Structure 1
Amino acid sequence: MQIYNYKFLLEKILKTSDEKLHAVLEGIEYAYEETEIPKKNGIRVIHMLRKTPEGRNLTNFQRNLVRRFLQKIPIAIPAKGFVTGESYQNFLMPHAGNHYFLRIDIKDFFDSFSEKLMKSNLKEFIQDREALETVFELCTLNAKLPQGAVTSPILSNIFFRRIDQRILKYCQSIEERYRKENTRSEKQGIRRISYTRYADDMLFSSDFFDFGEHIYFLRMLSKILKENGFEINRSKTMMCKGEIGLNGYVVGDGLRLSRRKLQSVKETLYFFRKQDQELYEVDMRKAEDLKESLKKLNEMRRENNKEAREFRSRQDFIHYLAGCRAWMISVLQTEQLLKKDSKRLEKTIQRLEELLKAVEKEEG
């Protein structure tokens, strides 16, 4: 898909007039608002599109760009996040059956895309300078990718395409070198290095290559990322053998749910359960005095697991419950579970929803 001139962008992609487009461009800074999202070690500030005339108009233009242009641009095979037909499970599954694992988190992913990187990638698909500048303005805020923009997820994959391909080729070069060095071996096996990426989460695995022993691999990845303006979040780097746990899943011989995370959810539900009831019912006294309840819950969780996440506020707790519910629903929708396991998961989801409702009610 190519945009050859400004008129084509205006009439065929955005479906608007020059006057309306310029009105939207002039009001871009008023189309966003800052929102704080709780995370494990504090908060993340992101820019979300407002539900105002400025925000709605920009949203419509961004949606047109996605539907009529950006979705038609090819992305690299390793990219699994923000891709139609792909899921978090698709990000993990290619690594099932491998023995060595390396997980890398990219620090400040969306904020790290430079203007130079973004425009050089857009140039491949937009021939006209005015059209390119217009698309860039519609999709950025202060020359950065705003995390709450409609276009940012798909653009992140487009802009990261060359990096994905370079990393993939690097993995293939190691496979090829190993095959040449071991041509006489009768027990070579498959000998692969698998690579997938879900937004800022990069996962590597191998049946022969020990990432811990060959530290030059991580150094090369760091070099490739640094050359493009990205930095590895060292505190989140994981090297594992046999299996690796990520966001409620365990990857090893196959892909399964994390028993630890399931147990953590059940402990939380039990803590808020009204004890004199046969069927599950939320203890509203604990929901009403949530500050004190979370203090006691945090103490209990620390006793069971010193590295357990602490809930710092009502909003943080709501975010956790909603995330657990979304995780379990996605498992029900995408995994082939035994009937008894599905029933248990459905019951847990129902209880999560009851607790969420009680906590959100007290917030209001």
Structure 2
Amino acid sequence: MLAAQAAPERLRTFIEQEARATGFDVVGFTTPDAAPAAPARLAHFLEEGRHGTMAWMEETAMRRAHPRTLWPDVRSIIMLGMNYGPDEDPLELLEEKDRAAISVYARNRDYHDVIKGRLKQIAGKLAARAGEDVKVFVDTAPVMEKPLAEAAGIGWQGKHTNLVSREIGSWLFLGSIFTTAEIPPDKTETDHCGSCRACLDICPTDAFPAPYQLDARRCISYLTIEHKGPIPHEFRAKMGNRIYGCDDCLAVCPWNKFAQEASEAKLQAREDLKEPRLTDLLALDDAGFRAFFSGSPIKRIGRDRFIRNVLIAAGNAEDPALIASCKRLLEDASPLVRGVAVWALSQLLSEQAFRDLAEKRRAVEADREVRSEWDYALGTETVDE
């Protein structure tokens, strides 16, 4: 028998020490069957179509709902969390309309890469010490991390459906280590939201049909990141200057005020992503976009969808200085970009100036959807939302 096969309690202590040394702020332990209500909640979410165009959620539903389907040999699940709370209130940036609001989590390196690297360090030491198999997962894998984190005692799923910690609030990156080792589990955390509705009431697009339920199709994070086509008209003005994600429901969580000091390994935001100017972002071509967002999660959505989001922010900015940049994008190679440039200009120009521009530009536009944007803005056609 391997001498390295430590007793379960000593193994727990070892993992906790390694987790903190590696940069994680919280760690908890659970079993694969510790979140029995999660599959039904996932099924309801999918049946209601609230996942929008995220077809991968349907395709991986079975593996996502049942960890043993993902890996039959798993006996214990280690859930780890990293505090990424901002140094300032991200909601203040929403008032600076010539600036772009990027979700706090996306202001530095792609956290998937960072966390996976740290998980592998811990998992490797666990495997060597216990003589057991391990697998690591970040949220790109079909793992229901938030219910499992709740079962592991790290926090609870708040009314905004995100995990809330009494020690860190709503700002947590999550990762997991599956293992064949038997490790004593923690007690499930209880719900401490009480009667608070702050996260529900602040949502700009009413994306919560009920407490603890999210309709992704109305969520700005989904619309700016996952949604591939034009943003439905009903949400454009409500997006304000949010160009990648939305932090509103996280930022108002009262539990944030109890957040402990983050570890020194916390990711620090890039200064140029804290409040970038819309004019600078609108100037990015594909090469410039890829270079500027190298190593960033933002790079994954591609330049055209990103510029789509920035143009909506420009349309909401009420700043005539943005008109020239938006006009230039009427010539863009992407119909997606040209279409939303039409909308942005309809918000920035006077009615007569916009009609004069439409008389010149609509006739030479070959794409049906872009022409439809012109017609919608002129009030001559209804766009299918």
Same-fold call, TM > 0.5? no
Give the structure-1-normalised TM-score.
0.28
Give the structure-2-normalised TM-score.
0.27
